[in-house]
Amino acid sequence: MPGVFMVPIPPPASLYAAFDVFPSRKGAAIHIDHFSRALFNRMGGGLLHVLGDGAMPAFQQEQNITIVRPRLPLPNYLARALGYSEHLARIVAELGTGLKLCQFRDVWSGVPLLGAGRHHAAVFEVNALASIELPFSYAEIAPSTLAKLRAQESFCLRHADHIVTPSHVLQKRIIALGIAPEKISVIPNGARLNPPCSRPTDAPGSYLLYFGALQPWQGVDVLLRAFARLADLPDLHLVICASHDSRRARALQRLAHSLQISPRIRWLCALSEDELAPWREHALLSVAPLTECARNLEQGCSPLKILESMSSGVPVVASDLPAVRELMVDRVHGRLVHPDRPGELARVIRVLLHHPESLREMGDRARTHVAENFLWDHAVSALNRVYSGLLAPNREPTLMLSPHRFPTSA
């Protein structure tokens, strides 16, 4: 029977799976890059099963790493996810007993990797719970579909050999679902310490920075309303570096126009890390105005924008949420403000701008904080300790049960 893809020679001993577009400038893709490389470096190569954007090749060989991106031109999210899952299941069957260690980020990857009779160890990398996340993107999702999704999450949490998660907030959520604490490792996101870079030639003289995605829970609308309250600072600009294309910025651009702040905002989209780094390093402040919603409270987060800003020596003004407090300390590395309050956000920014020496000191402390606690090397070392336990010769995989099945549409 013909296979799904041409099995590399020698066949891979490891597989990393994520229902996410890779590569991209989203935080998820940056995380995938570092953690998949950790797995493949440990195992001498492997297979990366991800999504593409249409222009990316379906099959790609990068030295000892094989990248497979199934073609899924399906408008329905759930149909696309099931197609991805079925494609991965066929690959796992084709690889057979050659796989020794697998890692996955979502239930669509987890179910085929945790199938009955598996011989490989499996790590569930829980950066978010889809049962919490999806209703924010698909408000019409059926309660019955969410119930099945929670059942799939429970299946993956119970039958993975180990779970890694980036925040203690999410760890507590997983424990509340009945998972033993000793099965979970908290491994925060990381950042790199980049060498100094030149100021962008077209940068405003003084600017605040937001970079990342533009979904409603990111709170960019709150930032725009706060910035409108700083109209008496005409030389202050706001630079927004969106991780996706400009179409997703249109609603926010209309809001900026209605607030009469458009002339003082620079919109940049889908910058590479090399393009983004100078904008980040030369900002007065970086802002992470996360909203107070279940997506940010119940499952937590480990925002890369905060760690990457601090690693650049830039103080951060962020929403005062439990997961954010795991990364930075108020008045030490920046300021924490109540979420969803543009007036308070504006006041805090105004006070900080009037004390430039304090800003520089906060930035220096923030960079040191990352260097000592949040480098990607720290995360990879912790992940390797997890791998060492799973690859011990006397370890046996967890016995599998049959997961609940999904309908083919939401």
Question: Residues 338, 170, 138, CA angle at the centre, nearest 5°?
Answer: 80
Give yes or no for a contact between 191 and 27, defined as CB atoms under 8 angstroms apart: no
Question: Do 184 and 250 reside in the same domain of the chain?
Answer: no
Nearest CA to 353 out of 362, 364, 340 is that of 362
Q: For residues 102 and 94, give the distance between their C-alpha atoms in angstroms, rounded to a whole number.
A: 15
Residue 89 maps to a domain: yes
Q: Does residue 198 lie within any of the structural domains? A: no
Mark whether 160 and 49 lie in a shared domain: yes
Alpha-helical (H) ranges within 195-301 are 220-228, 250-258, 273-281, 294-297
Residues 267 and 127 in one domain: no
pLDDT at 404 over 60: no
7: confidence class by pLDDT, cuts 50, 70, 90 = low
Q: Does the pLDDT of residue 360 top 70, yes or no?
A: yes
Q: Are residues 37 and 96 in the same domain?
A: yes
- Confidence class of residue 9 from pLDDT cuts 50, 70 and 90? low
By C-alpha distance, which of 267, 272, 252 is closest to 210?
267
Q: CA–CA separation, 233 vs 352, rounded Å?
A: 13
Q: What is the CATH number of the domain that holds 320?
A: 3.40.50.2000
pTM above 0.85, yes or no: yes
Question: Is there a single domain that holds both residue 237 and residue 279?
Answer: yes
In a domain, 400, yes or no: no
Q: What is the pLDDT of residues 273-319, one digit of tens each?
A: 999 999 999 999 999 999 999 889 987 778 999 999 999 999 999 99
Q: Which domain holds residue 18?
A: 14-190+377-390
Q: How many domains does the chain have?
A: 2
Please give the structure tokens belonging to residue 341. 């309050």
Judge whether 195 lies within some domain.
Answer: no
Which helix (H) or strand (E) segment is 205 a member of? none
CA distance 215 to 310: 22
